Amino acid sequence: MSALFPVVLDSAETARRGQVLAGPVNLTLDGQGICVVLGPNGAGKTSLLRLMHGAARLTAGSIRWSCPTPQARRAQAFVFQRPVMLRRTVLENLAYPLRIRGVRRREAMQRAADWAGRVGLGGMLDRQAPVLSGGEQQKLALARALIAEPALLFLDEPCASLDGRAMREIEEILLAARAAGTSLILSTHDMGQARRLADEVVFMLHGKVHEAGPAHDFFNQTATPEARAFLHGDIVE
């Protein structure tokens, strides 16, 4: 188990302009494998990820990692639904996280080229990142997050709008990261992807955790009618 976990959210809440985006959330995660956050649009999935990562302000309650919070933050990375590309080459994008951590340029470039090869971008090192396709940008964003070897990676809808081939490639990268010991917490609308990847499921509804537990239990014996309706593709309000 990573030194980050377990992480305990105790009545944690994030609000903006008086509107609660997620919370109060009571949740304990042990960081084993891949935790998939599910729920209808507006359920608070992205807000929960941002709250845990520290990108959204904690306005009530607490979040307790198993190490000091600043240490926990340094051991995390976040991949957004729409990848943020630096206006630089693929190689320079990948080397950037290492350079800001003090890694010498030669070593950073060597590691960046290695990671580009791992995610299928080895032939695009000199290409400008902003002109890559959506799938290529998402692979670059993943590699850029993983190159620094985070203990925990958050991903917000990492395969949204990607075709089947690109989704398969992204999932292979995620499974390799899990096998290498990285904990992952990701949101998705794709039920097939959730079934393929999840070790644990958190089901969000109205900004709160409605149900949480092992993926096998959730997909085969959900505890609540709302979760069953969601799994059947019904509208959940």
Q: What is the mean pLDDT of residues 183-202?
A: 94
Q: What is the mean pLDDT of residues 170-197?
A: 92
Output the pTM of the full model.
0.93
Cross-strand partners of 152: 76, 183
Which range (6-15, 54-63, 188-197) has the least confidence?
188-197
Kindly tell me if the per-residue pLDDT of 1 is higher than 60.
no
Q: What confidence tens digit (pLDDT) does each residue in 4-20 have?
A: 999 999 999 999 998 99
Calculate the average pLDDT of the chain. 93
Provide the pLDDT for residue 134: 86
CB-based burial of residue 179 (10 Å sphere; 0-12 exposed, 13-18 middle, 19+ buried)? Answer: exposed
Provide the pLDDT for residue 2: 61
Q: What confidence tens digit (pLDDT) does each residue in 198-214 have?
A: 999 999 999 999 999 99
Q: What is the mean pLDDT of residues 67-96?
A: 93
Alpha helices in the chain (DSSP H): 45-53, 69-74, 90-99, 105-118, 134-146, 164-179, 191-197, 215-220, 225-231
Q: What is the mean pLDDT of residues 96-110?
A: 95
Dihedral sign, CA of 42, 169, 140, 181?
positive
Q: What is the mean pLDDT of residues 153-167?
A: 86
Domains and CATH numbers, the chain: 7-85+132-231 (3.40.50.300)
